[in-house]
Chain A
Amino acid sequence: MIKFTNVFKAFPKGGLALKDVSFHIAKGEFVFLTGHSGAGKSTVLKLVYAEEPVTSGEVRVSGFNVAELRPRDVPMLRRRLGIVFQDFRLLEDRPAEENVAFALEVTGARRSSIPARVMRVLTQVGLAAKAQAYPRELSGGEQQRVAIARALVNEPSVLLADEPTGNLDERATRGVFQLLRDINASGTAVVMATHDLDLVRQAPYRVIELQEGALVYDSAVDEPRDQAATP
C-alpha cells in the first residue's frame, strides 16, 4: 500500500529532513507516526501525497511510483488518498456539506450522485444534523469531522492524518480518534502522525518513530519496548 525504500529528502535550505527511511504499510493497517516536532513526520506524509519531491529512494503509494510521478498525475494519486490536517483546512465560505461535496466535484463525479454520497459520509462522522452549518459555526472537533468526511468521500484506500487532534481538547480528541479507529475497522488504512503519546498507548497499533529524520523504531520490525521510554 505505502512502501518507502531508502528514502532521503533534502530541503534546499533545511538540510536533510529524512535519512534512509524504509518501511512498508499494508492494506488496512493503522499506523502511528511519532516523534518530536521536526522529526520528519509531516515530511513522510508530504512525500506520500506528492506535495514534496523525493530526493532519492523509492516511494510507492497504491500502485503509483511517487518519485517518478508526472505533475499531471499527482491529482490522480491524491484522489486515492484522504488527507486530514491539524488546522482542518476547510473553506470558510461554504457550509459543511459543500466542503465535502467539493472534493467529489473536483474529481468529476456524477452530479446526481453527489448529495447522497455527501450525506452518507456526514452521517458516518456524526454530523448529518449540521450539514448546513458553516465552519465558523462548528466546534474544533466538528470541523475536524467535516475534514475527515471530505477525506473519506472519495473512498480512499488510505487516510493520512497529520496531527489531526493537535488543535482539539481532550474530549474532542477522543471522539476524533475513535472515528479514525472506526474508519480503519471498516477497511481503510490510516496513517496518523502525532506526538500525543497517551493516544498512542491507548491502542494496540503499529508505531513508527522518527528522530531527526531517521527511522529509529518500528514496532512491526523491532522488539517491543517499554513505551514510557519513548519521547
Chain B
Amino acid sequence: MNLTIREALLAFRRAPLLSALSVTTIAFSLFVVGLFGLVAVNLQDALRGVAERVEIVAYLLPGTPIESITLAEKDIEAFPEVYSAVYVSEDSALARARAELVEFRDVLQELERNPLPASIEVKLKPRFRDAEHVNDVADRLRGFGFVDDVRFGRDWVEKLDRLRQIAAAVGLVVGAAFAVVAIIIIGTTIRMAVLQRSREIAIMRLVGATNGFIRRPFLLQGAIKGMLGGLVAVGLSYGAYTLINRWLIQAAFFSTVQALAIVGFGTLIGLFGSAASVGRHLRRV
C-alpha cells in the first residue's frame, strides 16, 4: 500500500504537465456539469417559489356560524395535504381589499354593506402543490355544507405542473448527456496517462509484477485526479455563481451535499475511468 501511494504521487511529479492536463480536463468537464446543475438548482428554487403561492380559497355562505367555521378550520388543517387553513372574515376581507386595491378605495369606502364573503384560505404542503392534489382538496372542501364556492387557479396550477415535468425531463436528459460527455472526455484523458506509461507497464510485467500491483497506483492516481478536478470544478462553479449573482440575477449555490456530490462524482469517474483504461491495456498486452 505504501508503495502504491508513493508510485501514485510520483506519477504527478514525473509527468506534471499531463497530470495537470488531466485535472484541468476533469475540472472543466465537471464544471460544465456543475453549471448545468446550478441552472437546475435555481430553476427548482424558482418553481418552488411559484408553487408556494398555490392556494385554495373556499368562500363561505353568508351567515355561517363562527363555531362551524372554527370546527371546519380544524378539520381542514388535519387533512394530510394541508399546511395551513386560515379563516378570513367578511370584515377582514374588506379591510384587505381596501389596503390592496388602492384604485377602488373610494368605491369601497362608499359601500353601505360589505359585499365580500368570508373565506377559508388553504395552503398545501410543498409536495402536494400539484394539480391532482389541489383538485382533490378542493373537492373535499366543496363537501362542507356552508361552502359556497371553491376557487383556485386551475389553469395556473396545471401549467405549473407541466412546467415542472418539462424541467425534470430536460434536466434528466441534458444532465445525463453532459455527464456522459464528461465521462468520455475524462476517460480519454486517463487513457493518455496510461498509454504514456505503457513502456513502464510492460517492464513491470516483465519483472514479475502482478496486474493488481500495476493497477493500484493508477487507480489511486485516477481517484486523486478526479477529486482534484471535482474540487476545481466546484471552485469554478462558485466563481461563475458569484459573477451571476453580482451582475445578473439573484441565484442560489449548491448545498454542501451537492458540492460534495460533484467532488465524489469526479473521484468515481477518475477511479472507474482508470480501472477501465488500465484493465483494457493489461488485457491487450
> Closest Cβ of chain B: how far from A146's Cβ, in Å?
12
Main secondary structure of the interface of A (DSSP, over half): helix
Binds B, one of A10-18, A29-37, A103-111: A103-111
Asked if B200 and A103 sit within 8 Å, CB to CB, the answer is: no
Q: Which residues of A contact B206 (CB under 8 A)?
A: 49, 78, 83, 89
Nearest A residue (CB) for B283: A71
Binds A, one of B20-28, B42-50, B207-215, B266-274: B207-215
> Closest Cβ of chain A: how far from B208's Cβ, in Å?
4
Of B3, B203, B205, the contact of A91 (CB 8 Å cutoff):
B203
The 8 A CB mask of A72-91 against B (1 = contact, 0 = none) is: 10111111000100000111
Distance A150 CA – B204 CA, assembled complex (angstroms): 11
Asked if A106 and B208 sit within 8 Å, CB to CB, the answer is: yes
Q: Is B246 part of the contact surface with A, judged by Cβ < 8 Å? A: no
Distance A76 CA – B210 CA, assembled complex (angstroms): 8
Main secondary structure of the interface of B (DSSP, over half): helix
Of A93, A111, A154, the contact of B208 (CB 8 Å cutoff):
A154
Of B3, B208, B211, the contact of A103 (CB 8 Å cutoff):
B208
Q: How large is the interface on A (under 10, 10 to 19, 20 to 34, 35 or more residues)?
A: 20 to 34
Q: Is B2 part of the contact surface with A, judged by Cβ < 8 Å? A: yes
The 8 A CB mask of B151-168 against A (1 = contact, 0 = none) is: 000000000000000000
Given A91-B200, A93-B14, are A75 and B205 neighbors across the interface (CB < 8 Å)?
yes
Distance A72 CA – B213 CA, assembled complex (angstroms): 12
Nearest B residue (CB) for A107: B208
> Closest Cβ of chain A: how far from B17's Cβ, in Å?
13
> Closest Cβ of chain A: how far from B13's Cβ, in Å?
9
- Of B2, B204, B206, chain A has the most CB atoms within 10 Å of the CB of B206
**Contacts of A185-203 to chain B: CB distance below 8 A:** none
Nearest A residue (CB) for B200: A91
Distance A103 CA – B14 CA, assembled complex (angstroms): 19
Asked if B2 and A111 sit within 8 Å, CB to CB, the answer is: yes
Q: Which residues of A contact B200 (CB under 8 A)?
A: 91
Distance A111 CA – B1 CA, assembled complex (angstroms): 12
Distance A154 CA – B206 CA, assembled complex (angstroms): 12
Asked if A103 and B207 sit within 8 Å, CB to CB, the answer is: yes
Of B2, B14, B199, B208, the contact of A75 (CB 8 Å cutoff):
B208
The 8 A CB mask of B203-231 against A (1 = contact, 0 = none) is: 11111111101000000000000000000
Q: Which residues of B contact A91 (CB under 8 A)?
A: 199-200, 203
The 8 A CB mask of A92-135 against B (1 = contact, 0 = none) is: 01000000001101111001000000000000000000000000
Q: Which residues of A contact B2 (CB under 8 A)?
A: 111
Nearest B residue (CB) for A71: B211
Nearest B residue (CB) for A91: B200
Q: List 7 A-B contacts (CB under 8 A).
A: A78-B206, A83-B206, A89-B202, A106-B204, A106-B207, A108-B213, A154-B207
Question: Other CB < 8 Å A-B pairs besides A49-B206, A77-B208, A90-B203, 19 of them?
Answer: A74-B205, A75-B208, A75-B209, A75-B210, A78-B206, A78-B208, A79-B208, A83-B207, A89-B199, A89-B203, A91-B200, A93-B14, A102-B203, A103-B208, A105-B3, A106-B204, A106-B208, A150-B207, A154-B207
Q: Which 5 A-B pairs have the closest CB atoms?
A: A106-B209, A79-B208, A78-B208, A103-B207, A75-B208
